[in-house]
Amino acid sequence: MNFRPTDEQNMVKDMVVRFVNEEIKPIAAELDSTHRHPGEICRKLGEMGLMGVAVPVEYNGAGMDNVTYVMALIEISRGCASCGVIMSVNNSLYGYPIKTFGTEEQKKKFLAPVAGGEVEGCYALTEADAGSDAASLRCRAELKGDKYIVNGVKKFITSGNVAQYCVLAATEDPSKGYKGILNLIVDLKNTPGFAIGTIEEKMGIKASGTAELIFEDAEVPAENLLGNPGEGFKQMMMGLDAGRIGIGAQACGIGRAALEDSLGYAKERSQFGKSISSFQAIQWKLADMATELDAAEMLLLKAAWLEDNGYDFEKESAMAKMYASDVAMKAAVEGVQIFGGYGYCTDYPAERHMRDAKICQIYEGTNEIQRVVIARKLLGMR
């Protein structure tokens, strides 16, 4: 077993660390307080190949692997959790299904601009009454001639407020259950009948817009169907398997930020006449944070490696997402504790890390659903 990254992976990581320290960390607090979409950062991430890390170069991606994607996304999320989730959605939830199931024309038209970082993509699955139970979605897509007529409302869609393109999950016929589900690529800026609804006020990841998408007799060309009708649910599940590696990496990056800040603060803060880093109560917290985050990173890199090498990675991506988000949340809470009263105030980023970490236990499948996915695989139920 070789734990040493390749020269290319190290080069990318060094480039991303520099970019994060120089251009993302200095504006992270401002992005959090203004809730502004970090468009300028997204364009630069595109120029660096980070909006389509594992997308082939002919579709404007970097043509690298998912291990590199994880390494880069941990760093980006260490700088800003909102930038991290936008990057994750472009690469995974939007990019993966088009890369995997799209036609040549679909890849050129819809994957290339997002992988190249010119525009954002989003993935619209969740509805008010279809969250964990994804197969119960009700957004309707009826084929009429050479168009699908789409009616329905999608909820909690990451980047839905800014995205140019969307992979939309809809049903041809709800009575068919999961077999009626299909995925359509929608040009959100050029589809009459589409409107952006409520933009949510959230606890964290405030610079990442979370929007309601409303479709009322919206016309989508039939040629924008991904694969075949009836394949949509399995495409979606496979996309989520890939996406969960991204969310795990986002979580790990947030946890790393909490650890990094805590280490710095513990060394500079004095009580009882000495640095608080000399107290075992603080040392043990730091040791646990570092150990658990390293373990999470190993799970993430393993899941990414399995994906890169063509193995089944459904269980491993669920394990990595679940574990990384649980330990990131724990690290962020301990970070606030180490900062004490200052940790509870907005002068320091500790409270932001805690607010940002929480969503990673919820989206792209709650951690309860990840346990269902893992247990089903262990028990041979799928």
Active site residues: 364
C-alpha radius of gyration, the chain, whole number: 21
CB of 375 to ligand CAA, least distance (A): 11
Report the nearest approach of ligand CAA to the CB of residue 240 (Å): 5
Nearer to ligand CAA, 242 or 332 (CB): 242
Token pair for residue 346? 């907005």
For residue 372, the minimal CB distance to ligand CAA (Å) is: 6
Nearer to ligand CAA, 261 or 307 (CB): 307
Nearer to ligand CAA, 98 or 338 (CB): 98
**Which residue, judged by CB position, is nearest to ligand CAA in the bound state?**
365
Alpha-carbon span 319 to 304, nearest angstrom: 12
Torsion of CA 366, 367, 368, 374, to 10 degrees: 120
CA 357 to chain centre: 12
Counts of helices then strands in the chain (DSSP H, E):
13, 9
Q: Are 120 and 107 within 8 A, CB to CB? A: no
Cβ-contact 139, 152 below 8 angstroms: yes
Whose CA is closest to 42, among 93, 76, 71, 74?
Answer: 76
Nearer to ligand CAA, 149 or 372 (CB): 372
Cβ nearer to ligand CAA, comparing 169 with 286: 169
Q: 32 vs 316, which CB is nearer to ligand CAA?
A: 316
Dist CA 180 CA 177 (whole Å): 6
Decide the pairing of beta strands 121-124 and 165-171: parallel
Question: Which residue's entry shows tokens 């251009």?
Answer: 23
Residue 96 has phi, psi (to 5 degrees) of -60, -50
* Contact assessment for residue 261 and residue 353, using Cβ atoms and an 8 Å cutoff: yes
Is the distance from CB of 241 to CB of 317 less than 8 angstroms?
Answer: yes
Distance CA 246, CA 177 (A): 28
SS3 250: helix
Smallest distance from ligand CAA to CB 109, Å: 23
How many other β-carbons are positioned within 10 Å of the β-carbon of residue 195?
14
| Binding site residues, ligand CAA, CB under 6 A | 85, 89, 93, 125-126, 132, 134-135, 156, 158, 178, 233-234, 237-238, 240-241, 314, 363-365, 369, 372-373, 382
CB of 251 to ligand CAA, least distance (A): 12
Contact indicator for 242, 96 with CB cutoff of 8 Å: yes
- Residue 234 Cβ vs ligand CAA, minimum distance, rounded to whole Å: 4
CB of 132 to ligand CAA, least distance (A): 5
Nearer to ligand CAA, 130 or 286 (CB): 130
